[in-house]
Amino acid sequence: LPDGTAFRIGRLRMRYGIDSKLDGPANPLRTPEYRTIGTLSDRALEMAGYIGPIEYAAAVTQGPDFLLRYAVAANGELIGPIKTDAMNSSHPLFVRLGTDFKGATPNFGVSGFYGKGYPVLANDGFQAGDTMLFGGAIEQTRLVLKERISVDGRWNVWRLKLAGEYTAGRDRDGGEKTVQAWYARADLSVVPQRLTTQLQYDRFDDGRPSSQTMGSLGIGITAPITEESWLRLIGQGNEKLLVGRKGSWLAGSQLLFAF
């Protein structure tokens, strides 16, 4: 292969959008990809690499292989969800092209997605379990065809790291639904190597007339305990709380280890 190019095969985390450059996998304050796409980990074949400061990635994935169905007993009592074969012949495609300049030079990227996936609907609450999703709910009972394009940027200024992303696309779900998402994040190194704070705002519109555009504000504080362990405190709330209305919120702690 040319220098800087590699193939990967197996269960991978896709390189898409701002998530590919932030700590999304280890941070409960999620990047917008969890709502705009719905999943970032899948069995896949990926080609990725660098040409100087330019990075690129393209991956073909298996896509969702099951749907949830709700089993009902003979007496009509609901037993619970079971997994059934999704009969999904779609192999979603992820692509990304971006820059990776070092230092204070701004970096930009553009990403695209096409394929079938679970619909994600704006939801004024918190979906726990495997998804741990705030402001959205993944429906695993059906598949919809998704088209997405995202533009992201990063800029380091002094002790401040700025990141943002805008996503637009369509869900072909009984007609075309226009999906949009906005995301902004600032990480401040209050005490270098000792204390970092994170502030982020995101907004998600699933394009359904019955849903509402959901915005949320999140804050995180990370401090090292040892050279290879960190403690993070997070809080996240619906933007309605800022104007004195009722809204969902959550708070939590996280212990991280390097291994």
Q: Output the average pLDDT for the chain.
A: 93
pLDDT digits (tens, 9 = 90+) for 114-149: 999 999 999 888 998 888 899 999 999 999 999 999
Per-residue model confidence as pLDDT tens digits over 141-171:
999 999 999 999 999 999 999 999 999 999 9
- Check if the beta carbon of residue 118 is closer than 8 Å to that of residue 140: yes
> Residue 71 pLDDT > 90, yes or no?
no
Structure tokens at 55: 């990075």
pLDDT at residue 212 above 80?
Answer: no
What is the H or E stretch that residue 238 is in?
A: strand 229-238
Share of the chain above pLDDT 90, in %: 80
The 10s digit of each residue's pLDDT in 91-113 is 999 999 999 998 899 999 999 99
Q: Which of 186, 223, 221 is nearest to 202 (CA)?
A: 186
